[in-house]
Structure 1
Amino acid sequence: MAERGQDWQQAFLQAHALPPDYLPSALKWFAPVAQLLVEHQGSAGRSILVGVNGSQGSGKTTLSDYLVAHFRAEYDLEALALSLDDFYLTLAERQSLAEHSHPLFLTRGVPGTHDMALLQSTLQALLAGENPAVPRFDKAIDDRRPECDWDQPARPVDIILLEGWCLGAQAVEEDALVAPINALEREQDADGQWRRRVNNVLARPFPELYALVDQWLMLKAPSFDCVYRWRLEQEQKLAAFRSGRGVMSAEGVAQFVQFYQRITEQCLADLPGKVNHLFTLDEARRIESYLAAPGVRL
């Protein structure tokens, strides 16, 4: 049994190009939470949805993939990791949105650039025990993959992990949107139209998505200042797999993260007291602490 555990763990490290010291940390911090989620799923007697929040580069995709592998190997449960990124509008749809709503919507990322109807229908089907095709997005071409390349679950899914940088974010009062917080907002959204429209999407339909979530998990960054460095490291790692295709420069990353700043800072301030499982990270993305909460107020 121990040998089997080592086999899947080593395969996971190799597939994600992770250093060996990732495993002791994962076993210390994530394995106990995995057991709690398994117990929650067993008590519910149905498929459950776990929402995973974390700023860009915080490690939420790796965490979700680790939990999927852990659930399968240690509990023989079918699990599936989804990203909010997989449900971006197509490039053509965002081009139309940029033309008719606001030019900043051409850049994927903020609420308003996702196909929320597709996400909702996919999750509802999975939670109902169906096996729908799951969309995947190709960031190298900045577009959704064709349906023939979507994933198809082999069997009904017991635990679904949905990760996203803005999951859990909620709409704010419009007065809070008036003052720009960075150069992007000052120069390209001087009248606040773009950020008001983003906020309107957080007011609806994001709450309908949140209503499907059984448990919330957060990887909390120390501050937004870490996000640029983490996102740049993430981009450099992706470059090794893409051979330069669709990879951003350091200047491009600095511009890109400004799209995320307002909502990321809001999440860092608001979500820690509202999630079921809170992991606090240091500047090197190491976990400093874990806090469990029995309830959620999203």
Structure 2
Amino acid sequence: MDIHGFLTTHQLPSSYAETAQKWFMPLCEQLLKHQNSANKPFIVGINGCQGSGKSTLTSFIESFLSSVHGKRVVSLSIDDFYYDQTKRNALAIKVHPLLATRGVPGTHDIPLALNTLRNLDKGNRTSLPRFNKATDNPFPTKQWPVITSSPDFIILEGWCVGASAQASVELKRPVNHLEEVEDPLGIWRSFVNTELAGDYQALFEKIDYRIMLKAPSFDCVYQWRLEQEHKLAQKSSGNDNGIMSDEEVANFVQHYQRITEHALQHLPEKCDTVFYLDNKRTITKQDVKR
């Protein structure tokens, strides 16, 4: 594997190479052991709050397994299954205005995600959905990559991957300004929680091995997400209306706070490997169950 090329492509500091060697290469070897005994695509789920590095970890695992071990790897993000603006606007009118904003359970096309996994499992010709965050809509379907055979690994990464729903009594108290002002009756958060308890769990149950990049607290999310948005702005052509200002980012992350905090508290015990991060995203320790 060309680690220096990987660092350049992903705009990563040289210290990432040490992180990869210490933590992520052993993780890949662990995944290989499990996959060797599987007679179907081995599905790896990666959870991490916004900006925690899960997309980069996904790319590293894919690159390592394919270049070093010759494995066929398909990477999916739960973000790629977001509904388009038209569908979300319809939900905003029918259920609650906050559903116009992508992100929370209820704004993804989960039947499409399940169908994508089903087709990959069968080795059918499969188009992999891709979402363009800069335009806040999916890329045209003709631009989606196409897989024509069953892969060895499928990686599903996302901020809410593996997360569980809350008890209804926990929904009563707003967790931030957004919920207090824009969802005073709790209609939005109840809808989101019900969605998370439904087909999302059917999707997450398909995961064979769960990994979590665990932030120290939700406080880091704004800063990490801000960095992401600035990178997105640098890459964009300048006429993309989906790029957010710093203030918009601050409002945007509040949509994710409730589920993220719940996951930080309850998800580690359900994961096979947990990497504990500090506020600079440095891994301080890991917990490996298998």
- Fold match by TM threshold 0.5: yes
Partner of 1:124: 118
Q: In the alignment, is the contact (CA less than 8 A) between 1:47 and 1:129 conserved in 2? A: no
Alignment of 1:95-114 (within 5 A): 95-114=89-108
Once the two structures are TM-superposed, the CA of residue 163 in structure 1 deviates from its matched residue by 0.5
One-letter code aligned to 2:79: D
1:279 aligns with 2:275: yes
List runs of 5+ in structure 1 lacking aligned partners. none
Partner of 1:288: 284
| Inter-partner Cα distance in structure 1 for 2:205 and 2:161 | 12
Partner of 1:139: 133
Secondary structure of 2:119's match?
Answer: helix
Partner of 1:35: 29
Secondary structure of 1:273's match?
Answer: helix
| Inter-partner Cα distance in structure 1 for 2:28 and 2:149 | 20
Partner of 1:238: 232
| Inter-partner Cα distance in structure 1 for 2:61 and 2:106 | 29
Partner of 2:207: 213
Once the two structures are TM-superposed, the CA of residue 82 in structure 1 deviates from its matched residue by 0.8
List runs of 5+ in structure 2 lacking aligned partners. none
Secondary structure of 1:72's match?
Answer: helix
| Inter-partner Cα distance in structure 2 for 1:46 and 1:196 | 36
| Inter-partner Cα distance in structure 2 for 1:35 and 1:126 | 23
| Inter-partner Cα distance in structure 2 for 1:43 and 1:222 | 35
Q: In the alignment, is the contact (CA less than 8 A) between 1:90 and 1:143 conserved in 2? A: yes
| Inter-partner Cα distance in structure 2 for 1:126 and 1:277 | 25
Task: Spell out, residue by residue over 1:258-277, the C-alpha distance to the aligned partner (whole angstroms, 9 max, x if none).
Answer: 00000000000001111001
Tell me the TM-score normalized by structure 1.
0.94
1:265 aligns with 2:264: no
Task: Spell out, residue by residue over 1:97-135, the C-alpha distance to the aligned partner (whole angstroms, 9 max, x if none).
Answer: 111111100000000000000000001111223330001
Q: Choose the corresponding residue for 1:183, options 166, 173, 177.
A: 177
1:11 aligns with 2:5: yes
Q: In the alignment, is the contact (CA less than 8 A) between 1:91 and 1:144 conserved in 2? A: no
One-letter code aligned to 2:248: G
Task: Spell out, residue by residue over 1:172-197, the C-alpha distance to the aligned partner (whole angstroms, 9 max, x if none).
Answer: 11111001111110111000000000
Runs of 4+ in structure 1 off by over 4 angstroms are none
Secondary structure of 2:162's match?
Answer: coil
Task: Spell out, residue by residue over 1:138-180, the C-alpha distance to the aligned partner (whole angstroms, 9 max, x if none).
Answer: 0111001111010112542110110010111111111110011
RMSD (Å) for aligned C-alpha atoms: 1.1
Q: In the alignment, is the contact (CA less than 8 A) between 2:126 and 2:148 conserved in 1? A: no
Once the two structures are TM-superposed, the CA of residue 65 in structure 1 deviates from its matched residue by 0.5
Q: Among all aligned residue pairs of Structure 1 and Structure 2, give the percentage whose two residues are the same amino acid.
A: 46
Secondary structure of 1:18's match?
Answer: coil
Secondary structure of 1:278's match?
Answer: strand
One-letter code aligned to 2:92: A
Tell me the TM-score normalized by structure 2.
0.97
Partner of 1:165: 159
Once the two structures are TM-superposed, the CA of residue 243 in structure 1 deviates from its matched residue by 4.2
